[in-house]
Structure formats: structure tokens, C-alpha cells
Amino acid sequence: MTKLLQKIVWHYLVAASLLQVGSNYFLLAHSARSAGDNRIRVETQQGANMGEKLASCIRELGPSGGTCDALSISGSQVAQADPFAGSNGMVKVLLGNVTIETAQPWALPDKVELAGKGPGTVLRLAPGVNSNLIVNANKENGNSGISIHDLALDGNNANETGVGSTIHLRKVVDFSIEHVTVLNSVIHGIALDDGCIRGKLLNNHIENVKGGSAIRAGNTPPAGMVAFLEIRGNEISNVAKADGIFVLGATAAGEHTHDIIIAGNTMNGVKDTSIEVGDGSQKVTVTDNKITLSHAPDGSSGSTGISVRSAQDVRVAGNTVIGDLGEQGQVGLLVWSPAKDQGGPLSEVTLEDNTVFTIGGDGIKVHTGNAIHIIRNTVRHSAQNNILVTQKATGVTKQGNVLE
């Protein structure tokens, strides 16, 4: 063999080896991508109903997790059991334009994403279940990384009794609830119980709450606290008995509900208080919310726009509260501290740059507290006092308010 021929053969063998290595690399990479995606179409799974098919998908994904794709399933479906039972989490469930009636709460484990396609994706509690609709799986030790978005959750309060809430989370860290329509809640629409930390409630629509608050974050001192929550851009209406947004809490160990942002929410038809910064809360900002005190179930007499109660370091700024002169006993902005509260003293509250008008009672009322600052608010046409400060309040400053 000549040197030239040897050289040609050598180059050929090198090229062939590189091609084979490249082919093997492509196959390995393609296989890795397929395994990493780990996506299962739910309609291919065994089961007598959608709940069983979802459960089969979640089991097949196993501890490594993946996606259960149910986007192609539509119409009316049922789930007799919780499809997440026994799951370790790491699961994304994608639902399409479907209405699922469930006979048990869905208990979400760690790192679960429950997602729909908007209001056309409905998960409804079956009649007579008398419980929560969505909970987290580990109520004692908590969960993390739960995401719920772009679907409707129906608590079916016309056919339920008991003390269930549509969403009830406890000790959940790093969670989000976004673009969720929460309908027909028996007690609370969204209840964030003791130990919920670093959560976002963004751009949800909550309507027709029968017994409790649309959003309740925390618990009565000393039963529990929450922290680092952002409650922004939510629409709330038709709350029959309690509050629109209610944050509170402290523990026996001296921990307090703290670092809460309540901003840009819109609400009307709330019977009690539209936004209450409650007993034990600290470091709370309430900004740029719009509240209308009218059209509550059984009337809006006695309704309050924003209340700061037995809380510390609270800033209420840039909000608009519109009342109804035809309703009695309303208060636009209220600062007070009942003797029975256990969360600590009421102090360092700033009310500034708010607009309050046509309140069927007092526009701004400071009943008790210390170091209360009333700055540059515009209060017009209150049925009683535009600003009322009682003798029980101390260290109250007023500056630059416009009263008409």
C-alpha cells in the first residue's frame, strides 16, 4: 500500500469513528431529553373515570416526577378519590376545558403545579362532601413549591355544610395562587393557615363567599402566623358575612404575622371589612386598593373599608373607599384595638394619600392606638364625621388633609 493510499484510509477510519461517536451522542442526548421530559398523556391511562386516570399517570411518573397532560380531555368528568394520594410530588398536571366533580379534596404534595386553561377549567366539590376542595398533603410538617393557576375552583356552597374552605393551606412555603377563579366557598375562599411563608396571591377572582373571608391569612393569636405574602390584583365580590382580605396572627412563642403586601385589589359587596389588618400583624402595607361599600348581601350598613386592628407598623396609602350614604354605620378607614385582642399594642399606623367619600358614617375613625399619623387624605361628604379621633387614641398627628 502506498503512503498516499495509507493516508486516505487513515482519514476515512477517523471520520467513520467520529461519525459513530456523534451518532451515539445524538441517541444518548435524545434519550436523555425524552426521559427528562417524562410527559404522559392522561387519556392513555387505565381507569374508570378521570380521577383514576390522573392517579395512574401520577403513579407511573414515580418519584422523578414529570407532566400529566390532560389537555385533550373535555366535558363533564368525575374523580371519586384524590388523584395525588401517595404521590411524592414533582408533578405538573395540565387540565383542559373540562369540569371535574370530585368526591374528595385534592391534597397537593411538594413541587406540584396544578394548571388549567382559564375559567373553562373547573374543579368542583361534589354535593355533600362537606370539606375543603384543595389542601396541602402534609398538614403537620408542611409542604413547599405548590403552584395553582389558570383554572376555576367551585366550593359548591349551595350543596355543602361544615367548615370547609375552597383552598386551605397550612405550613406551605414558596407557593403561588394566580389567575384562579374561586367560586361559592362555604367558609373562606382562600385560607392560609399557620406557617404559610413566601406566598403570592395574584390576579385571582373570588366571588360568593358564604360564611368566612374571601382571603384569610393567619390565625387568631396565639394560634398561628404567616409571613412574606403578596396579595395583589385580586377581584373580590359578594362576601356575605366576613371580610374581603383578612390578615392576622401571632404565636405563643412571640412570632407575629409580618411583611405582608396588600396592593391593587378591587372589591365590592363585602359585608364586614373589605381589608382588615388584624390582631398581631406587623409590617403591613395596604396600597392602591379600590373598595366600594355597597351591594353586600343583606345590605352594606355597618361595612368598613379598611381596618387596622391591634397591629403595628402599618402603612395604608393611596387607597380609594367609596361608601353609600343610604347605608348607616359605615366607616371608611378605621383604627382600633378591642380589649380582648392578644397580638400586642396598636401603634405606628400611617394613613396617607387615601381618598374616602360618601361614607354612610365616619370617613376616618381613630378609636384607640398610639402614634397614628393621618396625612394628606381627601375625605368628602361623610354622613357623620369626615375625621373622628376619640380620647382613647394618643399621639395622633394630622397634616394636610382635605375635608369637604
- Ordered by start, the domain boundaries in the chain are 1-37, 71-403
Give Cα 333 to chain centroid, integer Å: 24
Q: Are strands 393-399 and 369-375 parallel, antiparallel or unpaired?
A: parallel
Q: What is the pLDDT of residue 21?
A: 36
Whether omega before 222 lies within 30 degrees of 0, making that bond cis, reads yes
Q: What is the pLDDT of residue 11?
A: 45
Record the pTM.
0.90
Q: What is the pLDDT of residue 88?
A: 87
Q: What is the pLDDT of residue 78?
A: 98
Homologous superfamily (CATH) of 71-403 is Single-stranded right-handed beta-helix, Pectin lyase-like (2.160.20.10)
Per-residue pLDDT for the chain (404 aa), expressed as one digit of tens each?
A: 444 444 443 444 434 443 343 434 333 333 222 334 699 999 999 999 999 999 999 999 999 999 999 999 999 999 999 999 999 889 999 999 999 999 999 999 999 999 999 999 999 999 999 999 999 999 999 999 999 999 999 999 999 999 999 999 999 999 999 999 999 999 999 999 999 999 999 999 999 999 999 999 999 999 999 999 999 999 999 999 999 999 999 999 999 999 999 999 999 999 999 999 999 999 999 999 999 999 999 999 999 999 999 999 999 999 999 999 999 999 999 999 999 999 999 999 999 999 999 999 999 999 999 999 999 999 999 999 999 999 999 999 999 999 99
How many CB atoms are closer than 10 A to CB 17?
A: 10
H helices present in 200-323, as ranges: none
Q: CA-CA distances (angstroms) from residue 331 to 128, 292, 293, 318?
A: 38, 12, 9, 17
